[in-house]
Amino acid sequence: MGRNERCFCGSGRKAKKCHSDVKPNSKLADIYVKYMQFDTMVEDEGIRASCPRQCSICCNDFFFITENEFLLILDTILRTKGQSVVKMYVNKAEEYQRCLGENFPEIMEALNTSMPTMEIWEAGQYLNDNYFWDSSLSCIFLENGKCAIYEARPTVCRTFGVCDTCTVIQNSAGHFKEKAELTDTARHIKGDII
């Protein structure tokens, strides 16, 4: 793909101003494409999370993302903000991990042992809805009430309040192929990641 060609992701931007560091046939490219397809479908269908202004309640939960989504977030931060910002987020994540380990050692044990091989539906037992959680610890990417990685937000954030039910806005759950494809693509590695 030439640098002046349109980016593989479907954004309409030139590759050199979009995902120039990602090979079009890589795993990251697959996820970027599925994110774009999901977002386009949601936009075309007029499905929106009608969140109250400055609401970030869902950003004060702990949740799980796949290794692929982690790598996509890392790629986005490196490409758009640089290595020093990655270090800042690593420091925040280490603080979060310490708190989680102190308060919920059983979750840390699960993360360190069974999580790498656990099916996604099995991980639900470890969601913070089942625990008393210090909600003062926001997502490491929540800054001034906004998501600092909105373009690269993982599937759990992308679908919450849109097709996964949020108790604040009380939206209906939505089931459609783009969501299933997005979830499947984020979970499974097929070939090179980058």
Residue 161 backbone class (left: φ over 0; alpha: ψ -120 to 50; beta: rest): left
Q: The whole model's pTM is what? A: 0.77
Are the C-beta atoms of residues 68 and 27 closer than 8 Å to each other? Answer: yes
Q: Tell me the pLDDT of the chain averaged across its residues.
A: 80
At residue 191, the pLDDT reads 45
pLDDT band at 193 (very low <50, low <70, confident <90, very high): very low
What does the pLDDT average to over 9-33?
88
Q: Which of 146-152's residues contact partners 24+ apart within 8 Å by CB, and which partners?
A: 147/59, 149/73, 149/76, 149/77, 151/76, 152/35, 152/72, 152/73, 152/75, 152/76, 152/77
DSSP 3-state of 12: coil
pLDDT given for residue 92 in this prediction = 93
| Range 52-75 average pLDDT | 83
pLDDT digits (tens, 9 = 90+) for 92-102: 999 988 988 88
Would you place residue 166 in the very low, low, confident or very high pLDDT band (cuts 50, 70, 90)?
Answer: confident
- Residue 160 forms beta bridges with which residues? 164
Task: Evaluate whether 43 touches 17 at the Cβ level (below 8 Å).
Answer: no
Q: With helix as H, strand as E and coil as C, how does 107-162 read?
A: HHHHHHCCHHHCCHHHHHHHCHHHCCCCCCCCCCCEECCEECCHHHCCHHHHHECC
* pLDDT score for 43: 85
Half-sphere exposure (Cβ direction) of 176: Cα atoms closer than 13 Å: 14
How high is the pLDDT of residue 47?
Answer: 78
pLDDT tens track for 102-148: 887 887 787 777 766 766 667 666 665 556 666 667 899 999 888 99
Nearest-angstrom CA–CA distance, 126 and 179:
22
Percent of the chain with pLDDT over 70: 83
